[in-house]
Structures are given as structure tokens and as C-alpha cells.
Amino acid sequence: MEQLTLHADGISATIVGQGAELVSLRDAEDTELLWQAGPEWRRHSPVLFPIVGRLKGDQLRHRGQTYPMTQHGFARDRRFAWAEQGPTSCTLVLTDDAETRTRYPFAFRLAIGYDLQPRQLGVSFEITNTGNEPLPASIGAHPAFNWPLLPELPKEAYRLTFADNEPAPVCRLKDGLLLPDPQPTPIDGKTLQLSERLFVDDAVILDRPASSSVRYAAGRGPAIEMSWQGFTELGIWSRPGGAPFLCIEPWHGVASPIDFDGEFADKPGVMLIEPGGRRVLSYRIGLSREP
């Protein structure tokens, strides 16, 4: 099966086997909320695994060996197997094979679950270490929402409202790698006023945000509430130079610091899963309407 569309209470979500990627999310008014992979960026909501961001030199180092690893890892470009399919939920699975081991020399099982309920979509990531040594990994979500959600509204009408105040400095990137010095946050209390200027220097990254949810809205029309569990960073991104989408990205892991040359297992943000162990992380996309 190439794709599956889930339905619940008038909303729908479409998932494809390639990359286990969410490619459509429509609300009860049949408004498409997800970016439809135009020329500015050819993806919708890729799964980032086993890395988030870039590694220095695009190389993963393990026990003195180097392995080629492109930005955000290989899961988004691999075909997952359908493990479960239903009218409102599904699970897709990727396991290691000869090809993945040329880039990532570890045994793993990655299961992506989608669960559509009235007015919300739940997404779960389950990473299992099927090998006999600790499994170093990062994982992240990368959903891109239309910006604006209503075509007649300007981009500047939209804001992100966090559940809690976010006064901490933010991290920024240079050439895809993490800069050493945090930057002053552009968030005013709980509110981040959106504009294309925010993304001139790539993503805005919150390291261990105080909040576990954020609302994306303009005061009228569709509104999106993103909430997450188990993730340690939040990336906010749109393509520099202007593009009609906004990515709200829960991550466990970040790009390599610009001066990091060590083993992948020692890279900041990497989780270590013991043999036979597993980690489960999840996020939810809540749908609503404002007057």
C-alpha cells in the first residue's frame, strides 16, 4: 500500500509508506493545514532519524570509523512496512538492514504510529534497540503547516503562543551546525510574533523549553495546538528568503556543535538506549477554529 487516509469526526490524515510521512491533514471544514511540498521545499512532515540536523562533515563517527550520514538521517527516504492499518490509526515500521548499516552501524526497530481522534492527531515514535550494544540515536518531527493557514491573511497576523514564558536564550545555526553562543530569545513572554525575518539565520531552536505545547493561530480561522512528550528541543523553521510554510518541530537532539569532532554517542542531544531497551516519544496536533 502506498498510502492510507485516516478519518475521524470529519477530519482526515493521509500517511504514505515512503518515510512514514504525514502528507495531508484536513480539518472538519476540509481546509488543508499541511504544506503540500511545493518548489520551496519538497517535503511535508519528514521523520528525522537517526540524527537531527547535520553532523560535522556529514560523517558519523563510531569506534574510530566514519560513516556517511546526510542531514536529518535516512528514515525520511526509506520505505517503511505497514504493521497495522485501521480506519483511525496505523503503524509503520523500519528496521536496520545491510544498507542502513553502511551508514549507521547499529541494530534498531523504529515504529511510527498515527492515531486520529476528534479534533486531534497523535503521532508516536518508538525506538527499540535490537542489538547487543548501546544504541545512540536522535529523533525529531518536522511537520510543515501552511503559513498563512487562511490565504487571505498576511503572514504577520500569525503568532506562536507558548504554554509558559520562554525567557531562555535560543540556539542558532551556521551552515547547518550549532553555533556555540546562545542568542537572545525573540519570544516576548509567551508570544513569538511570526515574520520572515525570524528565519534569515535558519531555525530558531529552543533547548529544553519550559513549555510542552504551543498554539499557532492568527485570531481567526484555523488554529493548531502542538504538544509533545519526551522531546528535549523545539525547532521553529521556515525557508530563509520566504516560503508559505511554518515548521514546528519537537526534537530529541540537535545538529553537531560547530566545533564537535567526537564520537556520535558523545554528541550533545543523543540518547543512549541499552540493548533490549526502547524509548517512546510522542506529539499531538490539535485542531480548532477561532472566530
pLDDT (0 to 100) of residue 168:
98
Distances (CA, A) of 279 to 126, 136, 163, 241, 269: 6, 11, 25, 37, 14
Q: How confident is the model at residue 291 (pLDDT cuts 50, 70, 90)?
A: confident
Over residues 122-139, the mean pLDDT reads: 98
Exposed (0-12), middle (13-18) or buried (19+): which is 285, by Cβ within 10 Å?
buried
The predicted model scores a pTM of 0.97
Residue 136: pLDDT over 80: yes
**3-class SS of residue 131:** coil
Largest Cα–Cα distance in the chain? 58
pLDDT at 121: 98
pLDDT of residue 205: 98
Of 142, 174, 171, give the one whose Cα is nearest residue 56.
174
Q: Looking at the predicted structure, is the pLDDT value of residue 278 above 80? A: yes
pLDDT at 18: 98
Mean pLDDT over residues 151-175, rounded?
A: 97
- 144 within 8 A of 226, measured Cβ to Cβ: no
Q: Please tell me the predicted confidence (pLDDT) of residue 1.
A: 73
How far apart (Å, rounded) are the C-alpha atoms in residues 184 and 73?
A: 29
Three-class secondary structure of residue 176 per DSSP:
coil
Q: Give the residue-averaged pLDDT of 126-138.
A: 98
Q: What is the pLDDT of residues 74-85, one digit of tens each?
A: 999 999 999 999
Question: Cβ distance 197 to 240 under 8 Å?
Answer: no
Question: How would you class 13 by CB atoms within 10 Å of its CB: exposed for 0-12, middle for 13-18, buried for 19 or more?
Answer: buried
Q: Which three cell numbers stand for residue 112?
A: 511510527
Give the pLDDT confidence of 34-75 residue by residue, as tens digits.
Answer: 999 999 999 999 999 999 999 999 999 999 999 999 999 999
